[in-house]
């Protein structure tokens, strides 16, 4: 999986389509985000960062599963979208990209100039 549109060491042999993985969480401490920020006193919020990382990882796992179901061995051009629904304390992350099959490039044996 990569955010780039290609890999130097591989060639794309087939484009299988756009895939996406979503993940949403509503941790109790995030239900009132404004109160959470005030309570934490500004600056970095380790708990929020941890929840965000875990949710992003879940979205990537869902993306990977969808790609594998199409027969892909890679996903390129991955992009993330984040949404926070304050009323419910719900955070949603979507990861999307293009499912492809890749093949390792063969060494031609030529020495570059």
pLDDT of residue 111: 60
pLDDT of residue 50: 87
pLDDT of residue 51: 85
pLDDT of residue 39: 67
90-100 pLDDT tens trace: 889 999 999 99
State phi, psi for 98 to the nearest 5 degrees: -110, 120
Q: How far apart are CA 108 and CA 99, in angstroms?
A: 27
12-68 pLDDT tens trace: 999 999 999 999 988 765 666 666 666 666 667 777 788 889 999 999 999 999 999
- Which domains does the chain show, CATH number per domain? 10-103 (3.30.110.70)
> In the block, which residue shows the tokens 């965000």?
52
Q: How far apart are CA 97 and CA 85, in angstroms?
A: 24
């Amino acid at each position: 999986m990569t955010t780039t549109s290609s890999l130097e060491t591989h060639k794309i042999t087939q484009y299988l389509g756009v895939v996406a993985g979503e993940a949403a969480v509503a941790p109790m401490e995030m239900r009132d985000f404004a109160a959470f920020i005030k309570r934490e006193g500004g600056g970095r919020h380790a708990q929020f960062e941890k929840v965000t990382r875990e949710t992003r990882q879940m979205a990537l796992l869902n993306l990977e599963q969808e790609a594998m179901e199409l027969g892909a061995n890679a996903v390129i051009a991955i992009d993330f979208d984040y949404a926070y629904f304050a009323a419910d304390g719900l955070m949603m992350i979507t990861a999307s990209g293009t499912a492809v099959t890749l093949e390792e490039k063969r060494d031609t044996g030529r020495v570059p100039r």
